[in-house]
Structure 1
Amino acid sequence: MFNRTTAIVLVAALAAALGLWASQKYFGSAKRSHLPQTQAVRLFDPPRTLPAFSLRQSDGTPLIPGELKGHWTLVFLGFTHCPDVCPTTLAQMSVAQKAWEAIPESTRPRVLFVSVDPERDSPDKIGEYAHGFHKDTLAATADVPALENFAKSLSMVFAKVPAPPGAPANQYSMDHSASMAVLDPQGRMAGLVRPPFDSNAIARDMAALTEASP
């Protein structure tokens, strides 16, 4: 049901998108000729260096900017109690991941699932959840302030939606951006993939970007 929290998230997402669009228009008039044309992945110039962040991976180790270097990475925000968008997206990404399994592991594209619900999603839980879709999916979370800073750096948003009247307090939901951020092998934000997602087109784009990268 559309509510005030959802409206706030939508307004914030629109503001973030407009800011990203403005930065692309101002800074991105020249295209990177060494990269291929893409169908599902919307690239922009110049790629944006992310501010410092520290998340916690499902195995308990820190996820810092350096960990994301060397691969093209799709980043998706979600939570394990998500009824539809998150499992559907991760299932679609598992199709893409299977398509690029032949790419050497050292450069193979990656999918990073970031839970924005640390109250209910422990590192172990998000790992079990993400790996249920594909064994190579990375999973991470953090405390809310760190997650807010990370999401903001990707021009994304999320917000807690209280449980319906009469329901237990822990039956809340989370509104979050449905797009995926695209990070380049330098760990910079290089583009977006917006729903609806085409698994095969995403797989082709990510494989082509990987092949074209030095």
Structure 2
Amino acid sequence: MPIVARKCLSRLALALALTLPLGACGGETPTSEAPLAGAQLGGDFTLVDQAGKTVRAADFAGKYTVFYFGYTYCPDVCPLDTANLMQGYHAFAKAHPDQGARLVPVFVSIDPARDTPQVLAQFTGNFGKELVGLTGTPEQIAAVAKEFAVYYEKRAAPKGSPPQAYLMDHSRAAYLMGPDGKPIALLPVEQNGAAVAAELARWVH
């Protein structure tokens, strides 16, 4: 795993640990309870989708959602994770069409300076019409990232490259959220589409 990804995962693990209630540390045997049950993740937001339409958290009420935070200029991790997410989504929706109709995959950009709605439309179009791309002002992105305990940070462009060729460090996670907007589980987008589909089948009813 790349060094950046390892660092992001460790930061994400710390963030999630801080959001979980103290009762989760009792060492109980695993149950069928959702892995992220009780975590303080998610909340209200106002962003813009790839069509330029304002999107709010309330627009997803009654549906399962998957939120992945990344950016379209990402050279490797984001395209791979998004491909695995959408492969898993399509496999799950084909096998369970009723449940699939209640599931919305969402890609939230942590690079609003470059990820305009038009750029997001090109990116999401590579993975399927069902994928919703969201961007916004830097302040709006910072707010929604805080709601999901997402870490991100701009890195300087490599020496000799133009300033706009910068990269972004960020958390690597796909959050499955319930129809009530509460967190359920992290999807294994770092593995493959089959693993994602299996996890969706476990929790989306």
Task: Provide the TM-score with structure 2 as the length reference.
Answer: 0.82
Give the number of aligned pairs.
Answer: 201
- Opposite residue 68 of structure 1, the aligned amino acid is F
1:25-68 per-residue CA deviation (whole Å, 9 max, x = no partner) reads: 179x8x996x7xxxxxx623236463321111111112211112
The equivalent of 1:65 in structure 2 is 57
Please report how far the alpha carbon of residue 14 of structure 1 lies from its aligned counterpart in structure 2 after TM superposition.
4.8
Structure 1 residue 151 corresponds to structure 2 residue 145: yes
CA gap of 1:10–1:162, structure 2 versus 1, over 3 A, is farther
- Identify if the C-alpha distance between structure 1 residues 16 and 48 changes in structure 2 by more than 3 Å, giving closer, same or farther: closer
Q: Does 1:83 align with 2:59?
A: no
Does the alignment pair 1:50 with 2:42? yes
Q: CA deviation at 1:11?
A: 7.0
- Distance change (3 Å), C-alpha of 1:11 and 1:71: same
- 2:17 matched residue in structure 1: 18
Distance 1:49 1:98, change over 3 A: closer
Distance 1:133 1:202 in 2: 15
For residues 122-161 of structure 1, the aligned pairs below 5 Å read 122-161=116-155
Counterpart CA distance in 1 for 2:118 and 2:73 is 14
Residues 63 and 26 from structure 1, CA distance in 2 versus in 1: closer, same or farther, beyond 3 angstroms?
Answer: farther
Q: Are the structure 2 counterparts of residues 2 and 109 from structure 1 closer, same or farther at C-alpha, using a change threshold of 3 Å?
A: closer
Structure 1's unaligned 5+ residue stretches are 36-41
SS at match of 1:170: helix
Cα 1:69/1:207, change in 2 over 3 Å: farther
- Cross-structure match for 1:39: none
Percent identity at matched positions? 24
Cross-structure match for 2:177 = 183
Partner-residue secondary structure (3-state), 1:83? coil
Amino acid at match of 1:147: I
Query: 2:23 and 2:117 mapped to 1: Cα distance?
Result: 35
Contact 1:154–1:189 (CA<8 Å) still a contact in 2?
no
Residue 86 to residue 201, structure 1, CA distance change in 2 (3 Å)? same
Give the distance between the partners of 1:163 and 1:152, measured in 2 at CA: 25
1:174 equivalenced with 2:168 (yes/no): yes
Residue correspondence of structure 1 range 32-43 to structure 2 within 5 A:
43=35
Match of 1:206 in 2: 200
C-alpha contact (below 8 Å) 2:69/2:171 kept by paired residues: yes
Report if aligned partners of 2:64, 2:102 keep a CA contact under 8 Å in 1. yes
CA distance in 2, matches of 1:101, 1:184: 16
Structure 1 residues 175, 24: closer, same or farther in 2, change over 3 A?
farther
Identify the residue that residue 113 of structure 2 maps to in structure 1: 119
Q: Which secondary structure state, in structure 2, belongs to the residue aligned with residue 101 of structure 1?
A: helix
Task: Return 123-132 or 13-22, whichever deviates more.
Answer: 13-22
Are the structure 2 counterparts of residues 24 and 153 from structure 1 closer, same or farther at C-alpha, using a change threshold of 3 Å? farther
TM-score calculated relative to the size of structure 1: 0.79
